Amino acid sequence: MVPASQISNQATPTQIKVDGVEIRLVRLPLIEPFETSFGKIDSRLIFLICLSAGGLKGWGEVVASEQPLYSYETVGTAFHVIKDFLAPAVLDEPITSLADLARRFARFRGHNMAKAGLELAFMDLLAQVNKQSLAALIGGERKRVAVGVSLGIQPTLSQLLSRVEKYLDLGYQRIKLKIKPNWDIHVVFEVRRMYPDILLSVDANSAYTLADVDHLRQLDDFDLLMIEQPLQSDDIVDHAELQQRLKTSLCLDESITGQRQAKAALDLKSCRIINIKIGRVGGYSEALAIHELCAARSIPVWCGGMLESGIGRAHNIALASLHGFTLPGDISASSRYFERDLISPEVTVASDGTVAVPDAAGLGFEVDTFYIERQTETRVYLSRK
Ligand code: OSB
Ligand code: MG
């Protein structure tokens, strides 16, 4: 594993002079609505970043949603923070490394998804300059990554059961059910009854409090791989108490916004598994640090998803190729969410529930600029003064 601080500090130190930062908001309809404990969406406003440098283009994706539900960031806040603060920091001086970029962003508080979008695009550029795949650039070893699927809350139990069957038939290695009060115990009971042996987990997106401990303890009967983020999004203290009172492993998602939170959660025993999302933690530098921390403590990690387009998905695949990503990630096929993706070829899941890690330089996928242009709602180009 290459420590983040050493990336690009090899024999010939790379200098990347970014000429322009393009922001594009691209509307992609979802094949079917996606419902979690905080609501339902039927399209995704995809926030793309394209950095240009000496004829190369590096692509990243800001995973913020339109509404501040999963996190306080939105497409609108990320747009503002990138345009007014982060892009000027990128355009300021040639960038010498990922650590250099992360240092420029560090003085701005929060806004991790906005920072991550730029880090992703920078790493795509750096990989192209080095003629390496993204996976190789960060020290990823896997040729294929194991994947699972996240199934939203459905109008009826029978619709959920038919989706479980569909994704198991497609080969997905783990089924994750979104839960909320009144869509939890009986739902998990039925899925487990139909499929006694599958890898099964649940994700509450902070829909419960510690007062629900006796209710949540009923989940201990179903041999779940994990319960993801049952309590408040910024909590690690109540999760530690809950973990002590449950047999099932807790996994934190929303609560882990960086390496300090990851270390605190592990020190407090607030969870036994961590979901790493590059966007939530502010980019590759933090994601790599959390991966190293967890590997050193034998804590399994897995790659979370945010209904990304193929561009964000390509970065997720690279991240999941790291050795510590031992549990299936929320990295589904493009076709699970979109009629048509922004990359070609699209991401596909093989019948053994794995996705290939590309070995071509950069993202490893062609970016479909024609389709991006067609779906673009907003475009802004920022350049050096
Ligand atoms: O909590 O993991 C989550 C999607 C949007 C916001 C939060 C979450 C999710 C998912 C979907 O579970 C994962 C995916 O991209 O397939
Ligand atoms: Mg989650």
* Ligand 1 atom 7 nearest Cα: 306
Residue nearest to ligand 1 atom 5, measured at CA: 306
CB neighbours (10 Å) of residue 382?
17
Q: Which ligand is nearest to the CA of 71?
A: 1
The whole-angstrom separation of Cα 223 and Cα 216 is 13
* Nearest partner of 330 among 349, 367, 364, 303, judged by Cα: 303
Q: What pLDDT tens digit does each residue of the chain (385 aa) get? A: 444 444 544 445 689 999 999 999 999 999 999 999 888 999 999 999 999 999 999 999 999 999 999 999 999 999 999 999 999 999 999 999 999 999 999 999 999 999 999 999 999 999 999 999 999 999 999 999 999 999 999 999 999 999 999 999 999 999 999 999 999 999 999 999 999 999 999 999 999 999 999 999 999 999 999 999 999 999 999 999 999 999 999 999 999 999 999 999 999 999 999 999 999 999 999 999 999 999 999 999 999 999 999 999 999 999 999 999 999 999 999 999 999 999 999 999 999 999 999 999 999 999 999 999 999 999 999 998 7
Q: Does the beta carbon of 307 lie inside 6 Å of ligand 1?
A: yes
Q: Is 252 in the pocket of ligand 1 (CB under 6 A)?
A: no
**Contact status, residue 301 vs residue 325, Cβ threshold 8 Å:** yes
pTM above 0.85?
yes
Any ligand 1 atom below 6 A from CB of 203: yes
**For the packed helices 112-129 and 310-320, what is the interaxial angle rounded to 10 degrees?**
80
CA–CA dist 364, 128 (Å, integer): 10
Strand partners, 275: 302
Report which of 264, 321, 385, 355 is spatially closest to residue 139, judged by C-alpha positions: 321
The residues with which 355 forms a beta bridge, in sequence order, are 145
Taking the C-alpha atoms of residue 321 and residue 223, their distance in angstroms, rounded to an integer, is 27
Q: Retrieve residue 85's tokens.
A: 């603060």
8 A C-beta contact, residue 278 and residue 122: no
Q: How far is CA 318 from CA 134, 139, 221, 239, 304, in A?
A: 6, 9, 35, 30, 13
Q: How far is it, in rounded angstroms, from Cα 372 to Cα 134? A: 22
Atom of ligand 1 nearest to the CA of 332: 16
CB 84 within 8 Å of CB 53: no
Burial of 97 (0-12, 13-18, 19+ CB in 10 A): buried
Q: Which ligand is nearest to the CA of 306?
A: 1
254 lines ligand 1 (CB under 6 A): no
State the DSSP code for 20. E
Separation of CA 335 and ligand 1 centre (Å): 16
What per-residue confidence (pLDDT) applies to 13?
Answer: 65
Strands 250-252 and 301-303, bridge-based pairing = unpaired
Q: Is the CB of 205 under 6 A from ligand 1?
A: yes
The Cα 144–Cα 158 span in angstroms is 33
Distance from residue 281's CA to the centre of ligand 2 (Å): 13
C-alpha torsion angle, residues 272, 275, 279, 280 (rounded to 10) = -40
**How remote is the CA of residue 35 from the centroid of ligand 1, in Å?**
10
Q: What phi, psi does 244 have (nearest 5°)?
A: -65, -30
Ligand 1 centroid, distance to 359 Cα (angstroms): 26
Task: For residue 210, give the nearest of 129, 263, 270 by alpha carbon.
Answer: 270
Whether 178 is catalytic is yes
Atom of ligand 1 lying closest to residue 308 CA: 15
Q: How far apart are CA 137 and CA 130, in angstroms?
A: 8
Name the packing angle between helices 259-267 and 284-296 (round to 10°): 20
Ligand closest in space to the Cα of 256: 2
For the residues of 107-173, what is the DSSP string, one character each? TS-S-HHHHHHHHHHHHHHHHHHTT-BHHHHHT---SEEEB-EEE---SSHHHHHHHHHHHHHTT-S
Nearest Cα residue to atom 9 of ligand 1: 306
Tokens coding 278: 């590059």
3-state helix, strand and coil shares in percent for the chain, rounded to the nearest 5: 40, 25, 40
Catalytic member of 166, 178, 263, 385: 178
d(Cα 219, Cα 113) in Å, to the nearest integer? Answer: 32
Q: Tokens for 225?
A: 């791989």
Instruction: Determine which residue's CA is closest to atom 12 belonging to ligand 1.
Output: 150
β-strand pairing of 366-367 with 227-228: unpaired
Which residue carries 């997905």 as its tokens? Answer: 172
